[in-house]
Structure 1
Amino acid sequence: MSVRPSPSDDDLDDLLLSCRYGELEEVQQFVSKFGSGVIPTIHDNNGNTVLHMVCANGHVDVLEYLLPLVPPSLISAQNEALSTPLHWAALNQHLTVAQKLIQFPAGPGADLIDIKNASGRSPLGEAENAGWEDGARWLVQMMKLEEGEGAVGDAGEDEHLDASQNVEVEIEDAEGKVARMIIGGGQVQADSSPKTH
């Protein structure tokens, strides 16, 4: 069994750039030459990982290649601003990337939606802040709601919501605004208004 060479600092920088610019072939060459073991340790001066670079720029093919090679913990890794790759995908409005991150079988799933960055915003908050309604709707649909939370009406223990019933969800962002969404009947309606107490 031959021992793989160790990548130089230039090799590590080149990998980050390849992830940033979506150069799948270069990423594959790095893995062929050095293996995937070092990938989780690579980050730039701001703590951004290869997944931050890929997700910020919407490179689905590189993301699909990397996800099975890295530990699931890298999916929720936070940079110096405490943003995860999902924050960056939401900020830059990359729905397919957000879906791949949350739906990756070995990953943290919908728990990613609850992580807040240094600005106090979750990925959903970043989506709302960027005016990305489609992404915000999808993230709300993926969220884990507590039992009974958001349900309109008074459903008993034996009652279940079906597709024809509406569910109202309220989510408060870091600025105290409440986003209200009604999900049901195959449609989603959104309303955002200041929180009143």
Structure 2
Amino acid sequence: MSSNFSDEDKDELFLSCRYGDLEDVQTFVTQHGAAALNDLRDENGNCVLHMVCANGHLDLLTYLLSVTSPSLLSVQNESGSTPLHWAALNSQLAIAQQLVQHPAGPGRDLIDIKNKAGLSPLGEAEMAGWDEGAKWFVEMMNLDGDGSKEGEAGDEDAVLDTEDGANRDIRVEIEDADGKIAKMTISGSINGAASQSTAS
């Protein structure tokens, strides 16, 4: 294995990650070692996970998470965005779930990281109009100071539909970096019917 590789090799690797070419990435690792992947960044500060997560390549993400440092999960590019931000921006739910649930990673703390625009991955999901992802992020968010999840019972903004006890609405307020409050209502059904969320 050689840790010496050309700019062309690096460019090819990032293209392989962008297009989900697992075999080419494995070939790079065979030739140069998995450790080389940890320090590689493109001209915008993106790591290999940014490319994979933006484009929804779940098999390649699974491989990369098995051979790279968990620290890559929280790498921020020049705009302050993590791979999870890019997954949210491009509505990649399976990717977002794998990033947050990776056993060796930072877990739900990833959802709290804000980019230079003041947006967390949840904020990116809202901006993109990706309701399914926004709902999942809210369900996974860190506990607040009193030990209850934001938007759950005990939060003044959480309400249960009382028609038949089968539906619930959760209202969440999220403060951005400028102190502005975004309100979201998540409507769900306990019996497994379709759910949706709306941002205001």
Q: What's the TM-score bracket when you normalise by the shorter of the two chains?
A: 0.7 to 0.9
Deviation (angstroms), 1:185: 2.3
In the alignment, structure 1 residue 185 sits paired with structure 2 residue 190: yes
> What letter is aligned with 1:185?
I
SS at structure 1 position matched to 2:104: coil
SS at structure 2 position matched to 1:168: strand
TM-superposition CA deviations, 1:109-142 (whole Å, max 9, x none): 1110000011110000000100101111111111
1:186 to 1:6, Cα distance in 2 relative to 1, 3 A = farther
Checking the alignment, whether the CA contact within 8 Å between 1:56 and 1:92 is kept in structure 2 is yes
In the alignment, structure 1 residue 25 sits paired with structure 2 residue 27: no
Deviation (angstroms), 1:151: 3.4
Counterpart mapping for 1:1-197 below 5 A: 4=2, 6-146=4-144, 147-148=147-148, 149-152=150-153, 168-172=170-174, 174=176, 175-181=180-186, 185-186=190-191, 188=195, 190-193=197-200
Structure 1 unaligned blocks of 5 or more: 155-162
TM-superposition CA deviations, 1:62-91 (whole Å, max 9, x none): 101000111111001000000000000000
Checking the alignment, whether the CA contact within 8 Å between 1:171 and 1:179 is kept in structure 2 is yes
> What letter is aligned with 2:81?
S
Give me the whole-angstrom Cα distance separating, in 2, the residues matched to 1:190 and 1:108: 26
Give me the whole-angstrom Cα distance separating, in 1, the residues matched to 2:154 and 2:11: 55
1:189 to 1:153, Cα distance in 2 relative to 1, 3 A = farther
Give me the whole-angstrom Cα distance separating, in 2, the residues matched to 1:111 and 1:125: 14
> What letter is aligned with 1:10?
E
Give me the whole-angstrom Cα distance separating, in 1, the residues matched to 2:182 and 2:38: 36
Give me the whole-angstrom Cα distance separating, in 2, the residues matched to 1:37 and 1:192: 41
> How high is the TM-score relative to the length of structure 2?
0.82
SS at structure 2 position matched to 1:152: coil
Checking the alignment, whether the CA contact within 8 Å between 2:79 and 2:115 is kept in structure 1 is yes
1:173 to 1:179, Cα distance in 2 relative to 1, 3 A = farther
Give me the whole-angstrom Cα distance separating, in 2, the residues matched to 1:123 and 1:112: 8
Give me the whole-angstrom Cα distance separating, in 1, the residues matched to 2:109 and 2:33: 29
User: What is the identity percentage for the equivalent residue pairs of Structure 1 and Structure 2?
Assistant: 52
Residue in 2 aligned with 1:157?
A: none
TM-superposition CA deviations, 1:130-183 (whole Å, max 9, x none): 0101111111111122224433359xxxxxxxx979573513253532113356
Deviation (angstroms), 1:5: 5.1
TM-superposition CA deviations, 1:24-67 (whole Å, max 9, x none): 11000000111111111111110011000000111111101000
